Amino acid sequence: MIEETGFRMERLKETAVSAAPPSRRATDAGQGISADLIAVLTAVTRGEPRVLTIQDQSALPSGPFQLEHRSLQAGLRAWVERQTHLPLGYIEQLYTFADRDRSGVSDGYPVISISYLGLTREQPASGEYEASWRSWYVYFPWEDHRTGAPPMIGESLLPALERWAKGDRSLAQNRWQRIAMTFGLEGRSWNEELVLQRYELLYEAGLIPEAWRTGAPAVPAIAGRPMILDHRRILATGIARLRAKIKYHPVVFELMPETFTLLQLQRCVEALAGRLVHKQNFRRLIEQQELVEETGELTADTGGRPAKLFRFRREVLAERAIVGTKLPIQRS
Amino acid sequence: MIEETGFRMERLKETAVSAAPPSRRATDAGQGISADLIAVLTAVTRGEPRVLTIQDQSALPSGPFQLEHRSLQAGLRAWVERQTHLPLGYIEQLYTFADRDRSGVSDGYPVISISYLGLTREQPASGEYEASWRSWYVYFPWEDHRTGAPPMIGESLLPALERWAKGDRSLAQNRWQRIAMTFGLEGRSWNEELVLQRYELLYEAGLIPEAWRTGAPAVPAIAGRPMILDHRRILATGIARLRAKIKYHPVVFELMPETFTLLQLQRCVEALAGRLVHKQNFRRLIEQQELVEETGELTADTGGRPAKLFRFRREVLAERAIVGTKLPIQRS
DNA sequence: CATCCTTATACTCCCTTTGAGTATTATATG
DNA sequence: CATATAATACTCAAAGGGAGTATAAGGATG
């Protein structure tokens, strides 16, 4: 039954903090290990980067890799399409995790988590699994720098991180250097791609509720909404990958409607990168790379002067192997 | 027994072309699937990029992920260190494959292959598993462009690819475009990172012996030395990853001895990239990024004027998150 | 020992890219 | 009709990167 619906409800019903070994294990008499396929499905809606979640926003869609699946991608597509009725377009593999101490299972057979990043446009998901779209930044409030560095970094994260760094004399210097590097302190600039490194640092410092499963709570939950198992780590991996990838491959267009204005495209990129982009230079970049073509139409929905509508030139994917789409990120 | 030595000898003893389902399957009474850890272990010796192989140069080291392994990396390290007695330094995950039609197993339980890239300096490997180091370019003779495009591309690959492209009228144009893009034809330049795309194209065109397992031989084996199962695809993935990575992360130094001259460093990079680099600009790049520091010593072993010896400044790994080490590749 | 070959290293030049602005145009709204 | 908001065009300077020349310092060769 569980295998047929895909998601392991036993596991999903656990709260984020208590994660007893799923009862499914007990029914597995076999010797082998098992592999879960986990999807980070992303869309950008009204200027917010969003992720498809299930189970009261606490889990990513996932299902076991099964005999009838011809390939990993095929298995993932099967699960997501059956469970959300969303057409799964662009997908790419993210990472394969199997750390015993992070999956919430401390004994029994190991579970391998094979994660994928998928890009679509947001559509209402079916309600069977409590599927809903949520902003990335609900889970990672320190990652959105579009209106400057979030106050919570200076107010709660950094003080707590500093306490942690000082907690071990011999490691203090090393720890502080990692903090400074990942958070862009001491003259260094913010690097939006270090999503996973920041999360892992906070995890190590005990500021992530997911870390408390293997021990006692260290500090109050100050660092974003948790998820079950290591799902938030997987989401961090997906965000990091996407933030890196938009700079050298035209994947943004998978998130855009058929036609769009250049500002809409820019807002989408900004939502993903979590920071603002220099408007004029952004346009220059897009146009000189011939990534888009005019549709000939205008739209007046933008507030000011009507904007030209563009469409993605799908041909470029065939013409060029790798397209440099570096972001003209605003420094001041 | 098999589990203890790690490599599945049954599978490894198969020839490259015939790949019957391994007998190990029969002993697995369990329901679960199984996961193999596969290592692409690379070194650069005397100007040649090399890979550690076993079983008469036809396989990559691999072993099953087991209960006692705390993590995937831990499992891989355990196998490689036990089997080759090499200290496994830098490793990173490559990709997880599980295509039923590519693994040589058309029925039975699926095998997941989790592959890793490892970088070391070449050391004699133990002989138990017929471990030996081989040049990458034995398996991918079309990938070494250091002395210009290999003649075999024009003499055998392109004619055969063209025949294949023309073999299907409706796909001909699309196929030819892919050929032109991956091999840098028609005004496009050679892109050394497209290792996997080129291999997959040749595979699709039936020019790779590994592809004949699921059908009849199409053409004589012209395209490099084969490997068992999909090991050559995994090697291609590793080469592609490494060629991309040396451009933005200082991983080359994992392959270098403690001290080295700048020309030695350059030759190493050239071996990996499969193409030549502009000497003066390469030095400028390395020095202005402060990746190295002088040891104060000179070496006269280089043939001409004695060269300064340098050592990698390991501190940069902590100082900066991502270092741009773009290659000043020679155009003319 | 003068010459040549080979490699090392310093420096120049110029074109392209890119960060950061200013200026101008076109709508909607009060 | 002034004003706000976008859209779009254009400028400018600094940095980066491709390509080459010039010079230095060894060994090998006759």
Q: Answer whether residue B330 shows pLDDT above 80.
A: no
**Phi, psi for residue B194 in degrees, rounded to 5:** -85, 35
CB B237 within 8 A of CB B102: no
Bridge partners of residue A221, in order along the sequence: none
For strand C, is any atom closer than 7 Å to the CB of B263? yes
Q: How far is A114 from chain B (nearest CA, A)?
A: 8
Highest-confidence segment of A36-40, A53-57, A209-213: A36-40
Confidence (pLDDT) at B16: 30
Q: Does A114 contact B96 at a Cβ distance shorter than 8 Å? A: yes
Q: How far apart are CA A317 and CA B250, in angstroms?
A: 29
B135's enclosing H/E stretch is strand B132-135
Q: State both tokens at A296.
A: 């000939």
Q: Which residue has better confidence, A331 or B116?
A: B116
Q: For tokens 């490494």, name the residue.
A: B242
Burial B161-173 (b: 16+ CB within 10 A, else e): beebbeeeeeeee
Q: Which nucleotide is closest to the Cα of B330 by its C1'?
A: D18
Q: Cα dist. B80→A304, B3, B4 in Å?
A: 63, 14, 13
pLDDT tens column, A139-166: 999 999 998 899 999 999 999 999 999 9
Q: How far is the CA of A307 from the C1' of C28 (A)?
A: 13
Domains of chain B: 2-137 (3.90.79.10), 148-223 (no CATH), 248-319 (1.10.10.10)
Say if B191 is an interface residue toward chain A (CB within 8 Å). yes
Q: In this predicted model, what pLDDT tens digit does every residue of B214-245 receive, in sequence order?
A: 555 555 557 889 999 899 999 999 999 999 99
Pick A7 or B86 by higher pLDDT: B86
Kindly determine whether the C-beta of residue B329 is less than 7 Å away from any atom of nucleic acid strand D: yes
Name the E strands within chain A.
34-45, 48-53, 62-64, 90-97, 111-119, 132-135, 259-260, 292-299, 307-312
Q: Is A193–B109 a contact, with Cβ atoms under 8 angstroms apart?
A: no
pLDDT at A44 over 70: yes
Indicate the pLDDT class of residue A324, thresholds 50, 70 and 90.
very low
For the cut 50, the answer to whether the pLDDT of residue B311 exceeds it is: yes
Q: What is the mean pLDDT of residues B256-262?
A: 94
User: In this predicted model, what pLDDT tens digit does every residue of B174-208 receive, in sequence order?
Assistant: 999 999 999 999 888 899 999 999 999 999 999 99
pLDDT tier at B82, thresholds 50, 70, 90: confident
**Predicted local distance difference test score (pLDDT) of residue B89:** 86
Determine, for residues A321 and B101 on separate chains, whether the beta-carbon distance falls below 8 Å. no
Please check whether residue B234 is in contact with residue B40, taking contact to mean a CB–CB distance below 8 angstroms.
yes
Give me the mean pLDDT over the B8-32 stretch: 34
B93–A95 C-beta distance less than 8 A = yes
Instruction: Scan for tokens 């076991």, then name that residue.
Output: A64
Strands B48-53 and B34-45: antiparallel
At residue B53, does pLDDT exceed 80?
A: yes
| B111 lies within 8 A of chain A by CB | no
Nearest CB among A65, A96, A197 relative to B33 is that of A65
- Whether CB of B278 is under 7 Å from strand C: the answer is no
Q: What is the pLDDT of residue A104?
A: 58
**How is residue A260 written in tokens?**
């769009």
- Strand C nucleotides where any atom sits below 7 Å of a protein CB: 5-12, 18-22, 25-28
Number of residues that make up chain A: 332
Gap from B134 CA to chain A (nearest CA, Å): 28
Contact A114 B95 (CB under 8 A): no
Please determine, for residue A233, whether its predicted confidence score (pLDDT) is greater than 60.
Answer: yes
